């Protein structure tokens, strides 16, 4: 029976080495394969040899989270179901009002601003740190048309040829020909960092700018600018909103305060509405101008009395950093909020909110930990919430109920009570007593992101927290905190590590070296002899030998005398940003470091490092204490991986020979490889079946079907499409 010859290799030379890697992504495959196929000409006398050196380990993708840092948003003015967002390294488009997002092929940049032509919604402009891009086909393709670091794009509502660009440090550019040419228009500007642009909808001669030096106004389409900063003194401004019922009423969001003008910007009244948080976006209800929304770095604030007062609204909008608020063009009750954690949508005028991130890949994973008693249970903190897995990381469920901020920079599990978890967010610490199912806020205000949390390994009531303002200690389970900075010459805490045997001994990594405390944090002494000046990203003490420590910059340093002296141990490491260090809890010769260029491991205490697998941009890593072979990594873009052994399969075939070799074992096949018109053909059954696939032949349809788990491939004789 003649089997179908399907695989066609377009190589004309006689010795062919094809490497095929099938990775187990999202559980599509039972095993993780590394396959080498060698095809040799029967008439060559050279003996077979393995031409590919394969790794014994690599990273298996377990799961990808949705969400992440969103920079910009634009709704189609003709069809508000069509929405665009600028995210990490990409633009996404939704055609169903944000339910599902589809990534568009774009240059790999962070898109800080998006603007849709109000008269032709196929034309879209998007700005990045390095230039302006334009699409004429609804976001399918993009071309770069201008080079500049951009913050904001605004198109004249009456004339689409008239476009304004607000830059990060070069002021305003204006185009009168739809973006073909640009002219700088900075006459009268004293500050050239432009954060927002607003044009009067009924008189496009009038334009307002929000800058890092206050507010500017033009009455001649941006030809000249006049400063309008009475009461706005030495305060950066980020957002402007013009009341369409009465255009003399204007609101401005600043770095600390909000401002209101009732005379077209001539004078301003200060409004303390947002508790000192920076106001990044202001939205006025187009049906009721007394209703005003303020999107801030501390959450959403809502006013029902024209900005006289405002209240904080959460109700599902648990990300505190709000970058932009926009309302649906057709239904004012639908509001989008883009945040550091992703996209949120309200359908009831902002009273309640739901995440709408399906399809958006990108939340940074800050920390992963394995439960100390049940190692199929894992937790992670990300820029889009707290997640829990009960099946070894194969699936994850968000557990953010009760959190008032979803950006989880740090968390720790109590070593004595594993149901007790603390998480650190922006200025807050939250506590769970049920393994992350629900959360309550602890009465502690830290004024900045809590970058590190760690329980005392010997006292369940002692916990330390670190942030940009110092290190804090609680001795009563988090009910009260005291600042512990005596002796620190730099209080920005990057990491904390505790001596496992004597928990009075602590080390912190700061922007000015490593510091050590011998008395539970009461006093600190610099221990940086041998370390470079400046930032230390991580410090880690060896739990098996507390005299051994590792510290990270873009290099690795080791101390064998409790931090008194440090020596560089970077042999085999490239120059990279190192985000963390993990020491094998059962074999302290094995240490892992991770960062922008992947994961590196030493098995000899730092004398030599080697890269593990092909993973990049690793932001977190953890070792399972119960089984140290279980190593998990999280990335800057929301993916969770596990280190696994590679199952290696080598197949050798010769042209015209009916004997093939699978891992050096002979196998008789009924159809040998052939060269026909300069192309090499392989029998697909004998390639697919050793990998665990099933190959089926349908004589009526002249179709071959290959099935491997959930993957099915169908090919037909005479058809070029599979």
Among residues 511, 520, 594, which one has the least CA distance to residue 550?
A: 594
Predicted pLDDT at 687: 82
In a domain, 31, yes or no: yes
DSSP 3-state assignment of 29? coil
**659 belongs to a structural domain:** yes
Distance, CA of 188 to CA of 222 (rounded, Å): 10
Residues 323 and 405 reside in one and the same domain: no
pLDDT at 123: 97
Mean pLDDT by 10 residues, the chain (722 residues): 37 31 32 47 36 64 93 95 92 96 86 96 96 96 96 96 98 97 98 97 96 97 96 94 95 97 96 94 95 95 96 89 94 95 95 94 93 96 95 95 88 94 89 95 80 95 94 94 95 96 97 97 97 95 97 97 97 93 97 96 97 93 96 95 83 87 87 84 83 85 83 82 74
Instruction: Among 595, 613, 645, give the residue marking a domain's end.
Output: 645
688 phi and psi, to 5 degrees?
-80, -40
Q: In terms of Cα–Cα distance, which of 591, 588, 597, 582 is closest to 636?
A: 597
Domain count, the chain: 4
Same domain, residue pair 460 and 507: yes
Q: Are residues 191 and 327 in the same domain?
A: yes
CA nearest 268: which of 229, 321, 225?
A: 229
**In this structure, is residue 352 part of a structural domain?**
no
**183 and 239 fall within a common domain:** yes
pLDDT of amino acid 403: 87
Which CATH number characterizes residue 426's domain? 2.130.10.10
Residue 357 falls within a domain, yes or no?
no
Expressed as residue numbers, the domain containing 529 is 365-574
Question: Is 556 among the domain residues?
Answer: yes
> What is the predicted pLDDT for the residue at 11?
30
Whether residue 294 sits in one domain with residue 197: yes
Last residue of a domain, one of 574, 589, 618: 574
Asked whether residue 630 is domain-assigned, the answer is yes
CB 444 within 8 A of CB 478: yes
| Paired residues of 695 in beta bridges | 706
User: Is 556 in the same domain as 421?
Assistant: yes
Give CA–CA dist 37/661, Å, rounded.
Answer: 10
Under 8 Å between Cβ of 80 and 74? no
Does residue 522 share a domain with residue 465?
Answer: yes
In a shared domain, residues 114 and 210 = yes
Contact 103, 90 (CB under 8 A): yes
Same domain, 469 and 402: yes
Q: Are residues 542 and 671 in the same domain?
A: no
Any domain includes 141 = yes
d(CA 474, CA 465) in angstroms, rounded, equals 9
**pLDDT score of 427:** 76
The verdict on residue 427 lying in a domain is yes
**Domain end residue (candidates: 574, 600, 634):** 574
Rounded distance between C-alpha atoms, residue 340 and residue 349, angstroms = 21
Same domain, 378 and 265: no
Q: Report how far residue 498's alpha carbon sits from residue 457's, in angstroms, rounded to the nearest whole number.
A: 8
User: Please, what is the Cα angle at 305 between 299 and 311, to 5 degrees?
Assistant: 25
What CA–CA distance (Å, rounded) separates 341 from 98? Answer: 15
Q: Residues near 721 by Cβ (< 8 Å), separated by ≥ 6?
A: none
- Are 184 and 273 within one domain? yes
- Residue 23 CA to residue 361 CA, distance in Å, equals 19
């Amino acid at each position: 029976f003649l089997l179908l010859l399907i695989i066609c290799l377009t190589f004309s030379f006689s010795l062919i080495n094809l490497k095929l890697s099938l990775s187990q992504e999202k559980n599509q495959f039972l095993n993780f394969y590394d396959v080498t196929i060698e095809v040799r000409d029967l008439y060559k006398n050279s003996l077979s040899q393995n031409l590919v050196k394969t790794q014994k380990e690599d990273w298996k993708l377990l799961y990808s989270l949705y969400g992440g840092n969103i920079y910009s948003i634009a709704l189609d003015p003709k069809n508000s179901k069509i929405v665009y967002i600028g995210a990490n390294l990409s633009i996404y488009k939704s055609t169903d009002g944000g339910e599902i997002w589809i990534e568009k092929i774009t240059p790999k940049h962070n898109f800080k601003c998006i603007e849709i032509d109000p008269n032709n919604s196929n034309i879209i402009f998007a700005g990045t740190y390095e230039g302006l891009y334009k699409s004429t086909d609804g976001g399918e393709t993009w071309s770069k048309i201008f080079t500049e670091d951009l913050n904001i794009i605004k198109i004249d509502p009456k004339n689409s040829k008239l476009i304004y660009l607000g830059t990060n440090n070069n002021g305003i550019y204006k185009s009168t020909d739809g973006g073909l040419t640009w002219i700088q228009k900075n006459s009268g500007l004293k500050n050239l960092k432009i954060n927002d642009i607003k044009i009067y909808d009924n008189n496009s001669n009038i334009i307002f700018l929000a800058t890092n030096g206050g507010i500017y106004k033009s009455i001649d389409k941006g030809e000249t600018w006049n400063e309008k900063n009475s009461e706005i003194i030495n305060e950066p401004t980020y957002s402007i909103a013009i009341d369409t019922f009465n255009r003399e009423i204007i609101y401005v969001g600043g770095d600390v305060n909000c401002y209101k003008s009732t005379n077209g910007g001539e004078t301003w009244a200060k409004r303390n509405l947002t508790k000192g948080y920076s106001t990044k976006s202001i939205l006025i209800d187009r049906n009721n101008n007394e209703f005003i929304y303020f999107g801030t770095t501390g959450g959403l604030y809502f006013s029902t009395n024209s900005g006289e007062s405002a209240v904080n609204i959460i109700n599902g909008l648990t990300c505190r950093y709000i970058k932009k608020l926009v309302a649906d063009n057709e239904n004012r009750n639908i509001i989008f909020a883009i945040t550091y954690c992703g996209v949120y949508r309200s359908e009831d005028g902002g009273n309640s909110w739901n995440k709408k991130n399906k399809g958006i890949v990108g939340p940074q994973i800050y920390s992963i930990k394995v439960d100390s008693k049940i190692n199929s249970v894992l937790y992670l903190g990300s820029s889009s919430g707290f997640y829990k897995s009960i099946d070894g990381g194969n699936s994850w469920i968000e557990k953010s109920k009760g959190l008032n901020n979803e950006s989880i920079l740090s968390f720790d599990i109590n070593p004595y009570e594993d149901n007790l978890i603390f998480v650190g967010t922006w200025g807050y610490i939250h506590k769970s007593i049920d393994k992350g199912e629900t959360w309550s806020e602890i009465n502690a205000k830290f004024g900045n992101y809590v970058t590190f949390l760690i329980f005392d390994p010997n006292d369940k009531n002692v916990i330390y927290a670190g942030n940009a303002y110092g290190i804090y200690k609680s001795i009563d389970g988090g009910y009260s905190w005291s600042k512990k900075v005596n002796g620190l010459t730099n209080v920005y805490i990057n990491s904390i590590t505790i001596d496992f045997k004597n928990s009075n001994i602590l080390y912190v990594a700061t922007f000015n070296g490593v510091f050590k405390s011998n008395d539970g944090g009461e006093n600190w002494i610099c221990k940086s002899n041998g370390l470079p000046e400046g930032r230390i990203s991580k410090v880690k003490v060896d739990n098996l030998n507390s005299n051994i420590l590792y510290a990270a910059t873009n290099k690795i340093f080791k101390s064998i005398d409790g931090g008194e002296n440090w020596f560089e141990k970077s042999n085999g490491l490239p120059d990279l940003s190192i985000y963390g260090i993990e020491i094998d809890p059962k074999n302290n010769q094995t240490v892992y470091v991770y960062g922008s260029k992947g994961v590196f491991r030493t098995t000899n205490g730092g004398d030599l490092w080697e890269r593990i697998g092909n993973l990049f941009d690793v932001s977190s890593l953890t070792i399972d204490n119960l089984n140290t072979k279980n190593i998990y990594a999280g990335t800057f873009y929301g993916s969770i991986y596990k280190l696994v052994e590679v199952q290696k399969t080598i197949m050798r075939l010769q042209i015209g020979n009916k004997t093939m070799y699978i891992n050096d074992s002979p196998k008789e096949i009924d159809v040998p490889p052939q060269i026909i018109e300069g192309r090499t053909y392989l029998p697909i059954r004998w390639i697919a079946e050793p990998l665990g696939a099933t190959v089926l032949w349908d004589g009526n349809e002249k179709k071959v079907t290959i099935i491997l788990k959930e993957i099915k491939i169908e090919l037909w004789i005479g058809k070029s499409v599979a």
